[in-house]
A and B are shown apart, each in its own frame.
Chain A
Amino acid sequence: MDTNTTIDYQVERKRYYKVLVGLLLLTAVTFVQPYIFHAGTFTAQMFIAVIKAWLIVMYYMHLKGEKLIGTMALFSLSLVFVFFVIVIGVDVANFQFGAESHITAAAEHTAGAAHAATPAHH
């Protein structure tokens, strides 16, 4: 459980550089991706970011083999998502098409007001 053990400096250093090369390559892919294929840019960019994040978390943050902390990380991410669904769900249900909304332009409210009661908005 404890990671405060003696280390093999050369092996660990090598690992750091390998991860660095991986991250640099992925950063390069991030840059060229929109020129290779334009459709699905958002999905591709987020996919690359997730791989980079995985490398950082596992190797730079030493989470590899840390079961408890890893589970907690997943739990906190799930918690954020659940709160997001609840909060945004309430917002969508109550305010998105009302004048009180702060996330759609005022002009859009007016345009949408005439159809506010129609099910097409839900």
Chain B
Amino acid sequence: MRLRVLVLLTALAALPFEVPPAFSHHSNVAFAVETVLLAKGVVKEFRWSNPHTWLYVTVDDGKGNKVEWAMEGRAPGVLLRAGWTPKVVKPGDEVQVYYSPSKDGSKVGMIARVTLPDGRVLPNAPPND
């Protein structure tokens, strides 16, 4: 009994520290690039890194659950030319993310476009790209 409580407590303690989903480098083939879905959520973290940027978003799944999605963005160099900056998205921002889902069903998407709280639109490609 004591052990069971300990296990339960340990499991509960681990919950808030659950690390964001972490992934190896993807090529586009990991995603269903011709399917585009919309997620609305709150930004948890934005990683401005090569070879991909990562936007971690907490999404309400409509059933009362908060689900964390890892949205893979293109490289900083490309996004700079598309109008992004390292600080353009901040934790706490409510964003809309158009994304292509991962083929393996995990909660990972590839970003097509992000709309910021003030209505600005961040595309995944510079003009004429």
Genuine A/B complex: no
B residues within 8 Å of A by Cβ?
Answer: none
A residues within 8 Å of B by Cβ?
Answer: none
